[in-house]
Structure 1
Amino acid sequence: MLSGMTDLDRVLDPEDQKLVTLARSARARNGVAEGAAVRDETGRTYVAGTVALPSLALSAVQTAVAMAVASGAKGLEAAVVVTAEQAAAEPDLAAVRDLGGAGTPLLLAGPDGVLRARVEVS
């Protein structure tokens, strides 16, 4: 068993693990507080980091969802956020719910990539 692996990691399918890797990479590459990745209904992925401008502030999840919508996505299969926060933010859950609908999972991982929680939006 790999060190740091949790029960959640062992049941994570490869496509969701890919989202964790992409979100983690976006966070590190851009030096932002959060990285996120979403997978739309066709399997396309969208990766984003936190947007923090004087005139515009979006979480990484909100940015990734906006990118999916702007690219024509009609739904979401899954979303991931990599963050130091301990719980999913309500605005992130709302954005996932808006595009993905009830039951769409939002996976919360720490900066180390270890999955902390899987929340199905309602």
Structure 2
Amino acid sequence: MPVTLDPEDTKIITLARATRARNGSAEGAAVRDETGRTYAASNVSLEALTLSAVQVAVAMAVSSGARSLEGVALVTEGDPSAADTAVAAELGVKTLLVAGPDGTLRG
């Protein structure tokens, strides 16, 4: 049975997909804060700095004043890390939405 998502969750999955594709990155993520603002990011992989897409998107939201998150989406071929799940939970998100590159939600 297909999963019916809230339109706002569909939006952050779409933003995460677009960011991943635009940057040619392994991961794309998007978050929605308590005021409805959204932030999208891709993973960073430098010699001196490695961050997941979720970590970058959350950092953008927090540095812009977000106190909590309503949604977090990750688009990747892999699985979310324990750190991704933990940072989402720390800001109030119980379920990290994970989708494949085609946007299909995974359990």
Same structural fold, with TM-score higher than 0.5 when normalized by the shorter chain: yes
Q: 2:7 aligned to 3, 14, 18, which one?
A: 14
Give unmatched runs, 5+ long, in structure 2. none
**What pairs up with 1:98-113 in 2 under 5 angstroms?**
98-100=90-92, 103-113=93-103
Residue matched to 2:61:
68
User: Take 2:46 and 2:90, find their aligned partners in 1: how far apart are those partners?
Assistant: 24
> What TM-score, normalized by structure 1, do the two folds share?
0.84
Determine helix, strand or coil for the equivalent of 2:96: strand
User: Take 2:33 and 2:49, find their aligned partners in 1: how far apart are those partners?
Assistant: 24
User: Take 2:13 and 2:58, find their aligned partners in 1: how far apart are those partners?
Assistant: 15
Q: Is contact 1:76–1:104 with CA below 8 Å preserved after alignment?
A: no
User: Take 1:57 and 1:95, find their aligned partners in 2: how far apart are those partners?
Assistant: 16
How far apart are residue 105 of structure 1 and its match?
Answer: 2.2
How far apart are residue 88 of structure 1 and its match?
Answer: 2.4
Residue matched to 1:114:
104
Aligned partner letter, 2:29: A
User: Take 2:51 and 2:90, find their aligned partners in 1: how far apart are those partners?
Assistant: 15
Residue 55 (1) aligns with residue 53 (2): no
How far apart are residue 65 of structure 1 and its match?
Answer: 0.4
Give unmatched runs, 5+ long, in structure 1. 1-5, 118-122
- Runs (4+) of structure 1 moved beyond 3 Å? none
Q: 1:42 aligned to 35, 40, 49, which one?
A: 35
Aligned partner letter, 1:7: P
Deviations 1:24-79 (A, max 9, x none): 00000001100000000000000000011111100000100000000000000010
Residue matched to 1:3:
none
Between Structure 1 and Structure 2, whose CA radius of gyration is higher? 1
> What TM-score, normalized by structure 2, do the two folds share?
0.95
Q: Is contact 1:77–1:105 with CA below 8 Å preserved after alignment?
A: no
